[in-house]
Amino acid sequence: MLLGNVRASLTRDDAQLALRLLTHGEARELDAAEARLREEGIDAILDDPRLLPAIIESRSGMQVSVRLFWYVVVRRALCRVGEEDRALADYVAAVLLHFGMRGRADRISETDDQLFSTLAELLGEVDTPDARRSFLVRQHLGNFALWSSGMFPDRIEHTRWRRGGPDLDYYEEMGRRGFTLAAEHRLAQEHGLDALLRVAASRFAALRCALNEVSDTLLFPNGSSPERLMRQVRAEAAWRWAS
């Protein structure tokens, strides 16, 4: 079961490194930043728009934990598309951390032996009699759709145009369905995930577009194709219309 607990897992070392990156180690600024941390909490530091550029551009940024890095990246990306919900950023960052581990994208849990390679296979298992497994399949359906369409949109578009595979709209539909079904499950209510999963379902398109920007700028910055250009044009037009 995937929880949005990246922020809670950040350590004092993470906070101190973030402070040093923001203040460039200058004593007076560091003292002021530490006072701000004590008074306003770690979100005041994590939400500072200077933090992500400092992580990327500074040599000290190489020392940042993967948890801190992905939370800050996701938080900034979601804010750019108008999604200010920290809990949502926390959950999406957890998805990236989880699916970034080798072999986790294909399994609903570490102890489950069945491998899933398509969204359709996952959808076919959502009503399994095992309650826990049913919830894990539903949540994984949403997570896998978000991971795939968010971080690897060019691969989806390439497969669509070259081999007739499903498009990004299909991934969005399946992702919304997965999160919606997971939110309706009693285990989601027991673990306090139902409201968060409903929000993820309703805002799936925004989450996907935010992760597309992360993918385009951080993972594949030199990528160029007609499919990427058309995807970016469609996304920009959609957000202009929405605003």
pTM here is: 0.89
Q: Closest Cα to residue 19, out of 30, 11, 28, 8?
A: 30
Q: Which helix (H) or strand (E) holds 163?
A: helix 153-163
Kindly state whether residues 40 and 118 are assigned to the same domain.
no
pLDDT band for position 135 (cuts 50, 70, 90): very high
Q: What's the structural domain count of the chain?
A: 2
In this model, does residue 120 exceed pLDDT 80?
yes
**Domain end: 78, 99, 120, which one?**
99
- Rounded to the nearest integer, the mean pLDDT of the chain is 89
Whether 225 and 169 share a structural domain: yes
Residue 69 has pLDDT above 70, yes or no: yes
| pLDDT over 70 (residue 91) | yes
Residues 117, 77, single domain; the answer is no
pLDDT band at 113 (very low <50, low <70, confident <90, very high): confident
Residue 178 in contact with residue 122, Cβ under 8 Å? yes
Confirm if 179 and 204 have CB atoms less than 8 A apart: yes
8 and 55 inside one domain: yes
Poorest-pLDDT segment among 4-8, 169-173, 205-209, 235-239 = 235-239
Pair (190, 233) in one structural domain: yes
Beta carbons of 123 and 177 less than 8 angstroms apart: yes
Q: How high is the pLDDT of residue 40?
A: 87
pLDDT in tens, 150-205: 999 988 988 877 777 889 999 999 999 999 999 999 999 999 999 999 999 999 99
Per-residue confidence at 223, pLDDT binned at 50, 70, 90? low
Label residue 70 by pLDDT band (50, 70, 90). Answer: very high
Q: How far apart are CA 169 and CA 184, in angstroms?
A: 23
Q: CA separation (Å) from 204 to 26, 170, 175?
A: 41, 12, 7
Domain boundary among 99, 125, 144: 99
Residues 79 and 130 in one domain: no
Mean pLDDT highest for which of 99-108, 178-187, 227-236?
178-187
Question: What pLDDT shows up at residue 34?
Answer: 85
Q: Which of 73, 99, 125 is the last residue of a domain?
A: 99
Percentage above 70 pLDDT, the chain:
91
**Confidence (pLDDT) at 46:** 94
| Residues 169, 89 share a domain | no
Question: What range defines the domain where residue 125 resides?
Answer: 105-243
The pLDDT value recorded for residue 232 is 61
Evaluate if residue 24 carries a pLDDT over 90.
Answer: no
Which pLDDT score is estimated for 231?
Answer: 62
